[in-house]
Structure 1
């Protein structure tokens, strides 16, 4: 254990009570100057550590930092985030970093998490608003052994896991706007960006990026967003623990993912249909081949949207941008 970790552990063990600098330096067998240097480092990381010349130091509130120190001890996953949990206070894009790591051979379940992104990315090259310590910005490396035709199931299971987390952990009425947006009360609370790299032998890796608005205030969102934005804080009028939400999300992602690899997708598909905002609605679909207007009638076994156009022809839609008209 590093000295920094030992100082942090000692502060946590006091459960918010004061710990004298003298006692801390004696127990760790280092100078009080060394202790103070590590306290300053923890402050720079975002830990709220109070100091008093007479009382010493204490953690003044439970930290809500998405570091492995805070997330991993309570994480009930077997693979996701367990072997490689890579945390940044600030990064350009977690997806970009995860792609770099995946290309270097980092294993399945490698997790890249940041407390802030400077150039977070969404679908079609759009930016994702990623202010410091307000949301969850994460990317996960997957290496599924699946036929290429089943790859679209990954996007649906991720959307289901995000919506489930908001439903079950926070009692929010989350719904899936096919294929990659999660809405609450018709406002966007989360976005998903999946990037696939394949070769002649099949899927090499998938990087799944998730941006989830947690403690953002409404007035802080940019005014030029395509879809009105919201956050857990806006909808529920309270601050929530990003650490707990991330832990719950990773568990649901892992369960849904390994069900898929084991050949069980029916439960995820049915859940995805029940959470869909599109099924039964009149839509305008913007695809690379043009615009289609019609009614979404179903989601097929591979997670594709089935759309009946105005002449009665049913189209299988693999990707595109939808606008709900009714």
Structure 2
């Protein structure tokens, strides 16, 4: 009922009466009055006028399922959104729910993470009410060896959504960062539960620094936020919805071919690694060279100092001019 009342308030041109809401929802006016009061307590500015009804003046920038479902144009990703005030990690919660049978496309989102996880076990700073900390549960019918490409699919979606919403020139740092002006504004972490030839589920975690005003000194040269770079605050719910919509579009294209064929041209256009000197630190060897492209399998092609093209599928990649690497 809460979600429907928010929808009616958003869609009303002017005031909408309690009687009209009551008629549409089939509940008492007292029940509606209670929900309206609860919304006011949550930060919604709602004007109540006798004989006219209710009018929504403003909505808080909170990431609840009711706000995020409103006008969300997706079929799969976000069909169910579960929101929390605080979690240790949205990826951890998503994996738990996936094991319990959560449906394909379920999104877990939190206002705060106390133990956010980055790639290779690194901590992710996730202060309350300032960022987007969410994870999507996916159950794709693809071979397990192709699942890692979902990190790139989601990364391109975030990059495009950030560009649309903020007009900032966001770029992708292969394989799992989004950067603005050489600093990280988003990290992605994909985790899989599978058998040899079957994926049980994949969890794609997305962390975006939106309205963070400052970072610890040790992160100053590495991390930034949309607020810092754009010199203004941004509506997180708007960015969440656009990210999920674009992610679904790219996800469907990925499923059609089980690779990046349909989006690789756009990916390479926004990949900041392309044409730059990089150092790749891997388990077996370190490689230094210039990045040629990303393939439709999600591999990084690096031309080394001997002129040989090396196919990189994983490793820590340092890009000249990014995160202080010179």
Deviations 1:212-267 (A, max 9, x none): 111221x3x12222852222222222222111111111110000001111227323
Structure 2 vs 1, CA of residues 323 and 10 (structure 1 numbering), >3 Å: closer, same or farther?
closer
Structure 2 vs 1, CA of residues 269 and 12 (structure 1 numbering), >3 Å: closer, same or farther?
closer
Structure 2 vs 1, CA of residues 260 and 13 (structure 1 numbering), >3 Å: closer, same or farther?
closer
Question: 1:186 & 1:267 partners in 2: Cα distance?
Answer: 27
Residue 71 (structure 1) aligned with residue 68 (structure 2): yes
Structure 2 vs 1, CA of residues 208 and 6 (structure 1 numbering), >3 Å: closer, same or farther?
closer
Alpha carbons 2:144, 2:196 under 8 Å: kept: no
CA RMSD after TM alignment = 3.0
SS at match of 1:172: coil
Question: 1:59 & 1:190 partners in 2: Cα distance?
Answer: 32
Structure 2 vs 1, CA of residues 227 and 256 (structure 1 numbering), >3 Å: closer, same or farther?
farther
Alpha carbons 2:260, 2:298 under 8 Å: kept: no
Which residue is 1:313 aligned to?
A: 308
Question: 1:244 & 1:267 partners in 2: Cα distance?
Answer: 26
TM-score using structure 1 length:
0.84
- Please list, as runs of the form range in 1=range in 2, the aligned pairs for 1:1-40 lying within 5 A after superposition: 1=1, 28-30=28-30
Structure 2: 5+ residue stretches without partners: 322-326
Deviation at 1:314, TM superposition (A): 2.6
Which residue is 2:324 aligned to?
A: none
Which residue is 1:287 aligned to?
A: 282
> Which region of structure 1 is more displaced relative to structure 2, 85-94 or 292-301?
292-301
Which residue is 2:265 aligned to?
A: 270
Which residue is 1:107 aligned to?
A: 103
Structure 2 vs 1, CA of residues 47 and 88 (structure 1 numbering), >3 Å: closer, same or farther?
farther
Residue 299 (structure 1) aligned with residue 276 (structure 2): no
Alpha carbons 2:148, 2:190 under 8 Å: kept: no
Alpha carbons 2:143, 2:197 under 8 Å: kept: no
Structure 1: 5+ residue stretches without partners: none
> Which region of structure 1 is more displaced relative to structure 2, 112-121 or 283-292?
283-292
Which residue is 1:169 aligned to?
A: 165
